[in-house]
Amino acid sequence: MTQDFQEINIQIPRTDKPRVVIIGGGFAGLNIMKAIDTRYYQVVVLDRHNYHTFQPLLYQVATAGLEPGSIAGPLRHFIENNEEVFFRMAKVTRINPERRTVTTPVGELKYDYLIIACGSRTNYFGKDEAFKEALPLKQIPQALNMRSHILQNFEKAVNTVDSYELRSLLNIVIVGGGPTGVEVAGALGELRSHVLPKDYPELNFRQMQIYLVEGLPRLLNGMSDKAGRKATKYLKDFEVNLMLNTIVESYDGKEVRLNNGEIIPTQTLVWAAGVKGNIIPGLPDEVIERDRILVDDFNRVRGSDSIFAVGDIAQLTTEKYPKGLPMLAPVAIQQGERLAKNLNRAMEGKEMKPFKYTNKGYMATVGRNRAVVDMPNGWSFGGFMAWMAWMFIHLLYLIGFRNKLVVLNNWIWNYFTYDRGIRLIIRPFNREEKLKQHEAEISGVK
Amino acid sequence: MTQDFQEINIQIPRTDKPRVVIIGGGFAGLNIMKAIDTRYYQVVVLDRHNYHTFQPLLYQVATAGLEPGSIAGPLRHFIENNEEVFFRMAKVTRINPERRTVTTPVGELKYDYLIIACGSRTNYFGKDEAFKEALPLKQIPQALNMRSHILQNFEKAVNTVDSYELRSLLNIVIVGGGPTGVEVAGALGELRSHVLPKDYPELNFRQMQIYLVEGLPRLLNGMSDKAGRKATKYLKDFEVNLMLNTIVESYDGKEVRLNNGEIIPTQTLVWAAGVKGNIIPGLPDEVIERDRILVDDFNRVRGSDSIFAVGDIAQLTTEKYPKGLPMLAPVAIQQGERLAKNLNRAMEGKEMKPFKYTNKGYMATVGRNRAVVDMPNGWSFGGFMAWMAWMFIHLLYLIGFRNKLVVLNNWIWNYFTYDRGIRLIIRPFNREEKLKQHEAEISGVK
């Protein structure tokens, strides 16, 4: 190994092996790290965080059910004992295909193969400015912000006499009837039934309204009709107000304006309306379509044989998915595995195999004893069994044995005590800080 | 119950019962809440945080061994099912004995009896400005700051070629050879032996020096000579550099200057040198002595029969403790219990009993299998048995069954895997934010 000092700043020893640079330690990146053969490649993983986030459980961090460390795993943990894999905490701000480098605030890094696996970010559908006060839910700090903000509002509410102000502190509006929106709404409904009235006996919780606003005429549009109907019923059990066929027009931090003219006073607007590819500048425009990178069946970026894209950021259309594969963890996991194996095969002189998505089913949980599952064979079920299946699958896919153990313990505890022990305002929500994060997020770049 | 609208802002219904206002939900405040009889009193607890912090384990949060939520319990949890106890998240900025109120940013609150239990804060011994870059360790956000800061320094170090800069990123200096300093030094020594080399194979950990600087000629000055000697030996096992009889003169964020002229390059100075009472303005000067409030045997503030002080903030001298009782959790717990019982007795027409401190022994841990215990009978022991005793006692006193369970699980996990799973930079350390917190802390006022 010799140190290559032509690389400015990012210090990785140069070896004979081709270097694979992976942008992002999410589901796709992590599975590449696991499956790629380091007898053939040197691997460098870049991520702006030093941890992998298990996003499907973020909403439980936001609603005081889990601690952040339970759903995060240090990325360096996954490369222990493998001296051909390097990690650098760095946010990639530009890809330079002509020089075969990526740019980061701590320097440039050369690649032989580049894998773009930087996932997605919150999509405000062009209304970034109108929704700067909304609370997104894509990262752990955002989940902690939501937890602090909601608890701080209750602490303010006990001292509030103005009835309009009081309602705006108690009300919560969730935008988006997909899995995240449904899960947040259900978890908040549970908090309102079981936890908050004990904590705040001085408040009248009939004044607290939870609204779930969805533009389409149904919930869980990516799932079966049956799943959508069941989720609707379950949310009604938790007394969540469903507003279907309704669009949120704007939000000023105090009042939400809907397209039907209605105004809801609320200081908490949770944005779960959608995500978009987290595009990094530098690739030619013709490979980008609606914020995703066009790839072929081998996850190669069009027109390049050294750049790949996998997971949410990759736009791969198939017969069954003419608009592109869904932006979901299973797709990212499978693409990551396939790509790593293909890179290994290439070095073994074997042909690459095209990616084929295996639908393993879809699921969403609403709360205690209530979830919906669509099986790949078209069978759909709900209720307690679906809820058990949801928990089992999430524990199975959760990264790291310690995390599985901690989350399972918490779930058992929360189930039997009806408690949410993490209702702590550890770092108070700070509006200015939040607006800065919003700027950073909408400006893109992982 | 009638609402008393003469109280501006802090909304608590006024009843016939005298109102006891407790400032601070620490060990003292919590034990008053538990023991006071709400058939006699209305109780209002004020704290700037919405949670109780189990401070003895803060250093494990700072060193990635425990999650913050494991050592914190929501204060409202302790008042569930007791409608005569109220909590308000509010930082008391002034006591107004003439009006019998306390002032907070969210309004004033009347009291009939006031209990000052606002603990202590970091003591820079008059050099607040010189040590503004130091990392204190009195609160959970400070512990999280330390965790993030240290991990960020390692992430920088892997990209650093300048050897002086590299040393300053790796070195850690801890000021203060009391229990906190010893515990932090030991925990960092363990991290360096077992966790960091696996995470950062590209770094040479012989370049990382851990220094513990103490002005006195020995460690653990509050404990027996034997305990001090054992702690010294244990820290040497972990290859911590002990600098006794040495004073830290100043720190600019890059270099520590010692009184022997030596300069140590370090970007991490942990301040564990001492605490002082967290004085709130408003009491007459004559009741305050070296930042503590003078109280009599009944924890009454001198010259008042409606104001009490307990715990770290209270200065109570006895024959055995002519300089005042030590600022330790057991004193706070015992004073809180005694005071609550005395207030109950007063309502039952019984005489109050003077406070008597029962020394239950002292202990400190250094790390894996190594701790020291001084028993009340003068017997002193160390090693594995002391370490087990330390863990048992800390679990016993840790608040809440969920926390006990979570901490125990983590300890077992950490012991057998030699791992520290929470090495996550969830909220990056932000120097400006830290300096703001420093300003807030040195300006005092809980």
Tell me which amino acid residue B374 is: D
- Per the structure, the complete domain to which residue B419 belongs is given by 135-273+369-442
Contact between A299 and A316 under an 8 Å Cβ cutoff? The reply is: yes
Q: Do the Cβ atoms of B425 and A51 come within 8 Å?
A: yes
| A3 interfacial to chain B (CB closer than 8 Å) | no
Contact between A336 and A31 under an 8 Å Cβ cutoff? The reply is: yes
Q: Compute how many other C-beta atoms are within 10 angstroms of the C-beta atom of residue B162.
A: 9
Q: What is the structure's pLDDT at A444?
A: 63
| Residue from the list A70, A76, A159 with its beta carbon closest to the beta carbon of B106 | A159
Query: Which residues from chain B sit within 8 angstroms of residue A53, using beta carbons?
Result: none
Helix-helix angle A179-190:A225-237, to 10 degrees: 20
For chain B, the straight-line distance linking the first and the last C-alpha, in angstroms and rounded, comes to: 30
Place of tokens 């009454």: B300
B7: exposed, middle or buried (Cβ count in 10 Å: 0-12, 13-18, 19+) = middle
Number of domains in chain B: 2
Both tokens assigned to A141: 């700090």
Question: pLDDT tens, A370-388?
Answer: 999 999 999 999 999 999 9
Q: What is the CATH number of the domain that holds B317?
A: 3.50.50.60
Nearest CA in chain A to B67: A69
**Residue of A98, A129, A155, A183 marked catalytic:** A183
Beta bridge partners of A412: none
Q: What is the structure's pLDDT at B126?
A: 92
> Global pTM?
0.94
| Residue B8 in domain | no
Residues A250 and A262 in one domain: yes
Low-confidence ranges of chain B (pLDDT < 50): 1-6, 446
Contact between B327 and B335 under an 8 Å Cβ cutoff? The reply is: no
ipTM of the prediction: 0.93
Nearest CA in chain B to A140: B426
The candidate with the shortest Cα–Cα distance to A238, out of A362, A370, A106, is: A370
CA-CA distance, B242 to B179, in Å (whole number)? 14
Query: Which residues from chain A sit within 8 angstroms of residue B49, using beta carbons?
Result: 425
CA-CA distance, B437 to A195, in Å (whole number)? 31
Between chain A and chain B, how many beta carbons pairs sit less than 8 Å apart? 139
| Residue B95 in domain | yes
Q: What is the largest CA-CA distance in chain A?
A: 74
Residues B252 and B283 in one domain: no
Examine the fold and report which residue of A316, A347, A378 is the final residue of a domain before the chain moves on: A347
Residues B242 and B265 in one domain: yes
| Residue A55 in domain | no
Q: What is the structure's pLDDT at B444?
A: 63
The candidate with the shortest Cα–Cα distance to B152, out of A75, A50, A105, A109, is: A50
Place of tokens 């309306």: A273
- Quote the minimal CA–CA distance from B49 to chain A in Å: 7
| B151 interfacial to chain A (CB closer than 8 Å) | yes
Residues B222 and B244 in one domain: yes
Q: What is the structure's pLDDT at A442?
A: 81
Contact between A301 and A309 under an 8 Å Cβ cutoff? The reply is: yes
Residues B283 and B427 in one domain: no
| Residue from the list A198, A402, A417 with its beta carbon closest to the beta carbon of B421 | A402
Backbone angles phi, psi at A401, to 5 degrees: -70, -40
| Residue B355 in domain | no
The string over B343-379, giving b where at least 16 C-beta atoms fall within 10 Å of a residue's C-beta and e elsewhere, is bbebeeeeebeebebebebbbbbbbbebbbbbeeeee
Active-site residue flag, B183: yes
Query: Which residues from chain A sit within 8 angstroms of residue B398, using beta carbons?
Result: none
| B37 interfacial to chain A (CB closer than 8 Å) | no
Q: What is the largest CA-CA distance in chain B?
A: 74
Provide the H-helix boundaries in A239-382: 329-347
- Quote the minimal CA–CA distance from A9 to chain B in Å: 6
**Residue of B133, B183, B190, B337 marked catalytic:** B183
The candidate with the shortest Cα–Cα distance to A26, out of A34, A38, A14, is: A34
| A400 interfacial to chain B (CB closer than 8 Å) | yes
Q: What is the structure's pLDDT at B1?
A: 38
Contact between A367 and A187 under an 8 Å Cβ cutoff? The reply is: yes
| Residue B150 in domain | yes
| A392 interfacial to chain B (CB closer than 8 Å) | no
Contact between B402 and B70 under an 8 Å Cβ cutoff? The reply is: no
Q: What is the structure's pLDDT at B419?
A: 87
Place of tokens 């693409």: A335
Residues B436 and B328 in one domain: no
Residues B97 and B220 in one domain: no
Residues A109 and A169 in one domain: no
Q: What is the structure's pLDDT at A446?
A: 43
Q: Do the Cβ atoms of A69 and B74 come within 8 Å?
A: no
Residues A243 and A97 in one domain: no
Which of left, alpha, beta for B156 (phi over 0: left; psi -120 to 50: alpha)?
A: alpha
Q: Compute how many other C-beta atoms are within 10 angstroms of the C-beta atom of residue B322.
A: 7
Q: What is the structure's pLDDT at B5?
A: 44
HSE-up of A431 (CA within 13 Å, CB side)?
10
Q: What is the CATH number of the domain that holds A202?
A: 3.50.50.100
Residues B176 and B237 in one domain: yes
| Residue A102 in domain | yes
Residues B244 and B311 in one domain: no
**All residues at 6 or more sequence positions from B101 whose CB lies less than 8 Å from its CB, including other chains:** B108, B109, B110, B111
Query: Which residues from chain B sit within 8 angstroms of residue A410, using beta carbons?
Result: 406
Residues B316 and B400 in one domain: no
Beta bridge partners of A333: none
CA-CA distance, B349 to B324, in Å (whole number)? 30
- Quote the minimal CA–CA distance from A421 to chain B in Å: 7
Examine the fold and report which residue of B295, B314, B347 is the final residue of a domain before the chain moves on: B347
- Quote the minimal CA–CA distance from B66 to chain A in Å: 9
| A429 interfacial to chain B (CB closer than 8 Å) | no
Q: Do the Cβ atoms of B50 and A155 come within 8 Å?
A: yes
| Residue B256 in domain | yes
The candidate with the shortest Cα–Cα distance to B371, out of B405, B394, B397, is: B394
Q: What is the structure's pLDDT at B9?
A: 82
Low-confidence ranges of chain A (pLDDT < 70): 1-8, 444-446
| Residue from the list A161, A425, A427 with its beta carbon closest to the beta carbon of B427 | A427
Q: What is the structure's pLDDT at B446?
A: 43
| Residue A43 in domain | yes
Q: Do the Cβ atoms of A11 and B158 come within 8 Å?
A: yes
Q: What is the DSSP letter of A19?
A: E
Beta bridge partners of B212: B174, B242
Examine the fold and report which residue of A347, A380, A402 is the final residue of a domain before the chain moves on: A347
Contact between A181 and A273 under an 8 Å Cβ cutoff? The reply is: yes
Within its chain, how far is the Cα of B55 from the centroid?
4
Question: pLDDT tens, A93-151?
Answer: 999 999 999 999 999 999 999 999 999 999 999 999 999 999 999 999 999 999 999 99
Residue numbers of B between 318 and 337 with CB closer than 8 Å to A: none
The candidate with the shortest Cα–Cα distance to B45, out of B103, B88, B97, B105, is: B88
Both tokens assigned to B376: 């009340």
Work out whether the CA dihedral A432, A426, A78, A11 comes out positive or negative.
positive
Q: Do the Cβ atoms of B421 and A400 come within 8 Å?
A: yes
Both tokens assigned to B307: 């104001």
- Quote the minimal CA–CA distance from A178 to chain B in Å: 26
